Every structure is written in structure tokens, then in C-alpha cells.
């Protein structure tokens, strides 16, 4: 996948995903650009929707290649009631899987979902990502397709899944703030991920508490009120991103400071019509989302289990490593042998799609493990009526 991934395409899709966090109507555009850039032949249909298995229900957030009437038919007949939905509901959050992993193809062809819906479009398989849960509801990204390779699309979706997750949760937090008569600033203040906003000249207009921590710890400098990254070349990249005449709308940065783990960050140009118009943010033209997660503690073991499908022991190890403990520290604290700890670590690597401890820690830090518990405002009602 690394050899095939076009970084310009990837950055463009990431920018679309975060645009959709601020303007949900943009989901259709984001999904269209995703399949047009990474979909193989005839893999050009995408569905992003909330589903409930009991009782069956569904609601589209966005779609590509699915007519409004086809969306209506799916929601009222098949949402939460077909084999992909029912069996996929049990998969770990954050997982990406092929429909053949859920049900035998021959058995699936006999199901009403295939004979009465997919078959008319020439589709018999699907690529599915389970993005989130809310009570008994799950959020899924589904790409129905023909028999044939979907490896390129699958690789892109695996890399993009964390961005989909963050974007949907940012959108929900903003909506919760509105329902609670709070400001958008209140929602972002409560976010565990670092969020900073600045104008086109890099003048800081807003930083949430996690973003202020990045400034305080030296990951990002502040000179006369303007943001400056440790490497001058990176600051110039950020300046170029703030120029509306530049085609690039999104860029990834690795923030580093002495004695601390690196932080993955993504800077996104805020589109004028994105819907992010709020007096608290001033003339914000850029948003920087940092992957630092100050709240990754042992209290989040249950959330780690759900997010990555870890066992309780694996989740305890992952939480300890995210807090800065070594493998030896964990073994001594838990009273297990170092070999046993290494065995657990192999399982954590496999389930988090990592293969080194620094990579694992970075993955845990960039995952909004407790976004749902970060805000003092009440949660939205269930995504489905």
C-alpha cells in the first residue's frame, strides 16, 4: 500500500473529511473523492451511515453513487437487518474488513439483501469499516462492489479510518454544544485532541487546553503571537497552506520536543464556506489538530478494549506504554514474566496495525480514546430516532 499511496490524493481526502466535520453536507464530496482516488474498477459506491440492529434502523450521513431513492429503500428495508450489518455490528471499532469475512459468499447470494438489492447493481461483496458506537448504534462506512480486488481501496480506508472517527466526533461535539446552548468553543475546549486555530499569517486565534499544552511544552513556538514550528522549513509549509492560492489544503506534520514523545499533527485550511464562523475563533484560516492525548490512563482500559478489540490484559499493557512505562515496568508491576509481557505486546501490535513500541504509542496518542467523556455537556440523543 505504501508504494501505491499518492500522498497528494491522501492529503486531499483528509482535508475533505475535516471539512465534513464542520459542514456535514460535505460528506458526499469527501466520499466521492475517496472512491475516485483509491477505488479500483467499479469500486465507486460508498455509504456512510448509522445503523441499529435491534430494532433495525438506519440513517445516512453521506453517500456516493447511491440515489436518494436507493438510500430510502436501504434505510426502510435493509438497514440493521442484513448480514453485513448484523455480523459487522460485532466487529471491533476501528476495524476494516471484507464481507467474505462475515458470511460465506454462496450463503450471502441467497439472502434478500443480495437478491432484492445488491444484485440489481452487479454487486456481491463489500468493504466495510466499523467507525464508532453509540449505545446500541454503530457507524459504518461501506463500499459495495463487484467480485475483484479492493486492496488499494482497503489500504486507503485503513489509513483514513482515524480521520473519519475524529471528524464524526468533532461534528457530534459541536452539535452537542448547540443542543446544550453552549458555544462551539466550549466543545473544542473539552476535546482531548490538541486543536489550534490561526489566521493566514499564522497569528494564533484559538487554542484549546490540549493545544495550549503543546505550546507550553515546546512542540510549537509562539513568536509575537504567531505560530512557529521547530523546523523553519515546516513553518514555511504552514504559511504556504494558509495561502488560498495554493492547491494544497491539508498537510501532516511531526511535532517534536526534547525529552518527549513525538506528536502527529494535521493542519487543514478552513474553507470560507465551511460553516466555521464563530466570534470566539476570530479570523481563523487554519486549523491544526494534534494527536496528543493527555487522558490516556489506566482508567481507559475499557475504552482501549472496545476501540482496538484488545483483551483486558492487552489493554492494560497498551495503557501503560501510552503513559510512558517500559515493557519491563509493566512486567514488574503486574507480576508477570518479561516473556509474558512480550507475548501480550505481539497481540497489541497485531490489533493496532503497528510493529514497534514508538509507533504503538503514537497510535494510542493520536486516538481520541475518551472523546465521549471529555465534555461536560450532555450527549446527543441516539444518532437514530
Q: What per-residue confidence (pLDDT) applies to 232?
A: 78
What is the DSSP annotation of 268-279? Answer: EEPPTTSS---G
Mind listing the domains of the chain with CATH numbers?
7-178 (3.30.450.80), 193-290 (3.30.450.20), 298-365 (1.10.10.10)
According to the model, what pLDDT value does residue 291 have? 66
Distances (CA, A) of 192 to 74, 79, 140, 359: 35, 32, 23, 20
Residue 374 has what pLDDT? 39
Alpha carbons 39 and 298: distance in angstroms, whole number: 39
pLDDT at residue 345, rounded to an integer: 93
Please state, in angstroms and rounded to a whole number, the distance separating the CA atoms of residues 303 and 296: 10
What does the pLDDT read at residue 295? 42
- Amino acid 309: pLDDT: 80
User: How many CB atoms are closer than 10 A to CB 309?
Assistant: 19
Q: What is the pLDDT of residue 380?
A: 54
pTM to 2 decimal places? 0.56
pLDDT at 263: 80
Are 205 and 284 in contact by the 8 Å Cβ rule? The answer is yes
pLDDT at 352: 86
Q: What is the pLDDT of residue 180?
A: 47
Q: Which long-range contacts (CB under 8 A, 24 or more apart) does 347-352 make?
A: 347/310, 347/311, 347/314, 348/308, 348/310, 348/314, 348/317, 348/318, 351/92, 351/308, 351/309, 351/310, 351/314, 352/308, 352/318
Residue 299 C-alpha cell reads as 482508567
Local mean pLDDT, 10-residue blocks, the chain (385 residues): 68 92 90 92 93 94 92 93 94 94 95 93 94 92 92 93 90 66 62 82 89 90 90 86 80 81 81 56 79 49 74 84 77 77 91 86 62 42 67
* Per-residue pLDDT, 281: 64
Q: What is the pLDDT of residue 1?
A: 40
Amino acid at each position: 500500500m505504501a508504494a501505491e499511496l499518492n500522498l497528494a490524493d491522501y492529503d486531499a481526502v483528509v482535508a475533505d473529511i475535516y471539512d465534513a466535520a464542520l459542514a456535514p453536507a460535505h460528506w458526499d464530496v469527501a466520499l466521492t473523492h475517496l472512491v475516485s482516488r483509491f477505488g479500483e474498477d467499479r469500486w465507486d459506491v460508498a455509504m456512510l451511515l448509522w445503523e441499529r440492529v435491534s430494532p433495525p434502523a438506519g440513517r445516512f450521513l453521506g453517500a456516493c453513487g447511491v440515489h436518494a431513492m436507493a438510500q430510502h429503500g436501504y434505510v426502510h428495508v435493509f438497514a440493521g437487518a442484513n448480514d453485513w450489518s448484523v455480523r459487522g455490528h460485532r466487529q471491533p471499532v476501528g476495524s476494516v474488513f471484507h464481507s467474505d469475512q462475515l458470511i460465506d459468499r454462496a450463503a450471502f447470494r441467497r439472502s434478500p439483501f443480495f437478491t432484492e438489492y445488491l444484485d440489481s447493481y452487479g454487486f456481491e461483496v463489500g468493504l466495510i469499516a466499523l467507525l464508532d458506537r453509540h449505545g446500541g448504534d454503530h457507524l459504518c462506512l461501506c463500499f459495495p462492489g463487484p467480485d475483484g480486488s479492493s486492496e488499494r481501496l482497503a489500504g486507503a480506508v485503513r489509513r483514513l479510518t482515524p480521520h473519519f472517527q475524529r471528524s464524526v466526533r468533532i461534528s457530534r461535539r459541536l452539535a452537542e454544544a448547540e443542543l446544550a446552548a453552549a458555544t462551539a468553543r466550549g466543545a473544542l475546549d473539552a476535546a482531548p485532541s490538541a486543536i489550534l486555530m490561526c489566521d493566514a499569517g499564522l497569528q494564533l486565534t484559538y487554542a484549546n487546553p490540549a493545544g495550549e499544552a503543546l505550546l507550553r511544552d515546546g512542540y510549537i513556538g509562539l513568536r509575537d503571537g504567531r505560530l512557529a514550528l521547530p523546523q523553519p522549513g515546516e513553518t514555511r509549509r504552514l504559511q504556504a497552506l494558509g495561502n488560498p492560492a495554493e492547491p494544497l489544503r491539508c498537510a501532516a506534520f511531526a511535532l517534536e520536543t526534547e525529552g518527549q514523545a513525538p506528536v502527529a499533527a494535521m493542519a487543514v485550511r478552513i474553507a470560507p464556506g465551511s460553516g466555521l464562523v464563530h466570534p470566539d475563533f476570530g479570523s481563523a484560516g487554519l486549523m491544526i489538530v494534534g494527536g496528543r492525548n493527555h487522558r490516556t490512563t489506566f482508567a481507559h482500559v475499557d475504552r482501549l478494549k472496545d476501540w482496538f478489540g484488545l483483551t483486558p490484559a492487552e489493554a492494560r499493557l497498551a495503557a501503560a506504554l501510552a503513559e510512558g512505562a517500559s515493557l519491563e515496568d509493566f512486567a514488574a508491576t503486574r507480576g508477570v514474566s518479561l516473556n509474558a509481557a512480550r507475548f501480550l505486546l505481539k497481540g497489541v501490535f497485531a490489533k493496532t496495525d503497528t510493529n514497534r513500541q514508538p509507533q504503538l504509542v503514537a497510535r494510542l496518542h493520536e486516538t481520541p480514546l475518551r472523546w465521549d467523556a471529555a465534555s461536560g455537556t450532555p450527549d446527543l440523543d441516539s444518532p437514530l430516532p
